[in-house]
Amino acid sequence: TDTFDEDIKGIYNVLTGLGYADDHIFYVSPWTGDQGVDRVTNISNVQWAINQVAARSDSEDTVFFFYTSHGGVDSLDCNPGAPGGGTISSTNVDNWLDTITSRDMIILIEACHSGSFIGAYCDRIVAAENELTGDGETNRIVMTATDTLHSSYGDVDPLVDPNPGDTGSEFPGGYIEAFSTPDADLDGDGAISVGEAYQYAWDNDAARLSDQSCPQIDPTSLNASDVFHTCRGADVWISDGPNDSGNNSYDYSSIDIWSSVTPSGTSHENPVSGLTNYVHVRVHNLGSTPVTSVDVALYWADTSTATAWPGDFTQIGSTYTIPSITAGGSAEHTWSWYVDPAFGMGHHFCFVATAQCSEDPMTGGPGTYVAPFDNNIAQKNVTIVEGSAGHTAEARFFIENNMKETIPFDLIIDRSGFPEGELVLVFPADSVGIFLSQSTFLEGAELVERGGEEMLGLLIARQKEVAIRGIQLKPMERQEVTLEFTIPEEARIGQEFTVRVQEVVGDEIIGAVTFLIRVTSPGDCQSALKRTAEVFAQIAQEYESEAAARLVKLIDAGLREEICSNPEATMELKREIFELEVKVAHELEGHVPKEELEDYLRALDVLGAALDAGDLQKVMLAEESVIEAAMKLVTHRSMHVMVFGSFFYFLILFSCIN
């Protein structure tokens, strides 16, 4: 008897034995003579069966979906060679099942590499997204006969087989048998739950016991309390993005990694050169047992859309060991990190952390594209861009080819989160051949002049997605570009917008940057203090200015004390800063061009008048002019200056020892 026929008949018999009528069971099989079969197996009939359930079910129903066949990574065979047969992808299955309304849905798949439909717990090396619950479903239990790497097996009877009399495939056979034996009733309530049946199948799977396969279960559902076992006791992870729940994803916006200028900061800020910054990392334990000695180490590199491991990276501080994390719990650690003023204003950084352990190692070493393939690895590739309504802010980033050959890539700009404001990609005129060559195609962008003869720009159309296709860089070549964001006049203070830029080769995402545009009030206190610190830290280093160095220390202390929440203390701090800004002018006499120093002094006169008037809002606005003038004191030394925001990219890896 065919193993798959044994499987499907066994499941049918369980359902009818539990009292389900034939008109509630939709049965597709190559063995059309079997009792209960409605149609022969082919792709359209699988869809037909799902459509029948979708037409009948509602939010009070429980739906059970069983599929047994050969399979590959993210695919299932569907009677190939027969009329209408072929293969069905995991995406197809997910989309079809999405049409069903139900309270709960139980999914059981028997196929080689079927763990790729989950991508959790035991998977190694092969990328496997959680296809069946990855787009937000919260009412599904997904069980597979094996993991991504391994085959599933028909009945095998090695010496270690706890149930040598079973038939059919190893895992479904145990699942079917669970409903006819009291041994599966772990809590003794006289009923077999989904979790109890899975546990019984796990315990009696001879292929698993001989390390030939590893069944999987994803308990992200309303029935999670019924699940007694997950494949691996230890599963530590850091989110890849806001929608990640421990599965591998392609997001580079981890909510578990954030930088701040205060030790207790809870929201992400751009790190500031010249100050002590704080990088916070939250680590979760997805497993069912506690973990101990979770090691986390942090590194930095100049960032771009494509970085190379390990040559680009330098460690920050030392590796930190989290003593323990409870099952289902999380723990945090904070690194203090002083950003050398030599980096300049708006310098971009990439952060990486690495470690190894025997129970939950990384799936390969960290590299450019590893985060999508391992939940031990996360990235924070988010740039904060601050500006007031009606004004233009900007942020720099690099595009790069870190490969050994020239391979065309596409730059995809998703501005669906910034639909109204003007958006321009600015680049040096001498690099026009990179963006406007015979092999490059623009979809939704047009050339505009920007900043005189030396700069050009591409005006990004007000549509969801814009593409610059066929960009070519030489091996290891990088190009710095700038995005200019004109914030809409009607934008409200505190409102946030997003723009996402991806570098894509073929269908593969090489890297991505998310720009988070925050609307601030003109002369926002914290923004002004951070920008003042950056520019005067640069002055202190370049000119050995004692007054500038003291000024930066004052701001550092004020930010740590969250001084902007106290207007009186802020005004007092601004008076102290003003006195030091005046001393800086005296220290720089004879060291900077006279005209630039005079511009700086005129800006200080306006600031002094605002301080005398005691108007904090006017003080903060006047400080903006001082910052702009101070920036000119260092730009003549070829300093690259970015007015708003810098871009930081974090990648975390860690290990545990149980």
CATH, domain range 525-635? 1.20.120
Does the structure show a pLDDT above 90 at 50?
A: yes
Identify which of 422, 476, 417 has the alpha carbon closest to the alpha carbon of residue 445: 422
Asked if residues 581 and 545 have their Cβ atoms less than 8 Å apart, the reply is no
Tell me how far apart the alpha carbons of residues 394 and 477 are, in angstroms, rounded to a whole number: 23
Residues 16-32 have a mean pLDDT of: 91
What is the pLDDT averaged over residues 612-626?
92
- Mean pLDDT, the chain, as a whole number? 81
**CB distance 346 to 646 below 8 Å:** yes
Across-strand partners of 386?
518
What pLDDT, on a 0 to 100 scale, did the predictor assign at position 328? 77
Q: What's the pLDDT at 219?
A: 58
pLDDT band for position 470 (cuts 50, 70, 90): very high
Q: Pinpoint the residues of the chain covered by CATH 1.20.120.
A: 525-635
Provide the token pair at 433: 């051949």
Q: What is the pLDDT of residue 405?
A: 86
Residues of the chain with CATH 2.60.40.10: 236-379+647-655, 389-519
- 3-state SS assignment for residue 197: helix
8 A C-beta contact, residue 257 and residue 377: no
Report pLDDT for 635: 61
- Indicate the SS3 state at residue 164: coil
Q: Taking residues 623-630, what's their average pLDDT?
A: 92
Considering just the CA atoms, what is the radius of gyration of the chain in Å?
30
CA distance 235 to 221: 18
Among 29-33, 53-57, 243-247, whose mean pLDDT is lowest?
243-247
User: What gap in Å lies between CA 170 and CA 145, rounded to an integer?
Assistant: 8
Q: How confident is the model at residue 222 (pLDDT cuts 50, 70, 90)?
A: very low
Which pLDDT does position 658 carry in this prediction?
36
Contact status, residue 518 vs residue 496, Cβ threshold 8 Å: yes
Average pLDDT over residues 85-101: 88
CA angle (611 as vertex; 607, 612 as ends), nearest 5 = 115
- What's the start-to-end Cα distance of the chain, in Å? 45
Q: What is the pLDDT of residue 204?
A: 86
154 phi/psi in degrees, rounded to 5: -70, -170
Count Cβ atoms within 10 A of the Cβ of residue 323 and give its class: 0-12 exposed, 13-18 middle, 19 or more buried. Answer: exposed
* Amino acid at residue number 629: A
Burial (CB count <10 Å: 0-12, 13-18, 19+), residue 171: buried
Give pLDDT tens digits for 512-569.
Answer: 888 999 999 888 898 899 989 999 999 999 999 999 999 999 999 999 999 999 999 9
Mean pLDDT of 573-602: 94
Q: At the top level of CATH, which class does the domain 3-226 belong to?
A: alpha beta
Q: How far is CA 30 from the centre of its chain?
A: 42
Per the CB < 8 A criterion, the answer to whether 101 and 87 are in contact is no
238: exposed, middle or buried (Cβ count in 10 Å: 0-12, 13-18, 19+)? buried
CATH 3.40.50.1460 domain locations along the chain: 3-226
Tokens of 80: 């190939």
Residue with tokens 């202190």: 540
Query: 583 is written with which tokens?
Result: 């001393």
Q: What is the mean pLDDT of residues 119-134?
A: 35
**CA 333 to CA 321: how far, in whole Å?**
9
pLDDT in tens, 342-392: 876 766 677 776 646 667 776 654 444 555 556 777 778 888 888 899 999
Query: Does residue 137 surpass a pLDDT of 90?
Result: no
* DSSP states of 440-501: -EEESEEEEE-SGGGEEEEEEPSSSEEEEEEE---TT-EEEEEEEEE--TTPPTT-EEEEEE
List all residues 6 or more positions away from 161 whose beta carbon is below 8 Å from its beta carbon. Answer: 206, 209
Q: Which CATH class is domain 236-379+647-655?
A: mainly beta
Q: What is the CATH number of domain 389-519?
A: 2.60.40.10
Range list of β-strands (E), 126-193: 140-144
- CA-closest candidate to residue 300, choices 279, 280, 286, 314: 314
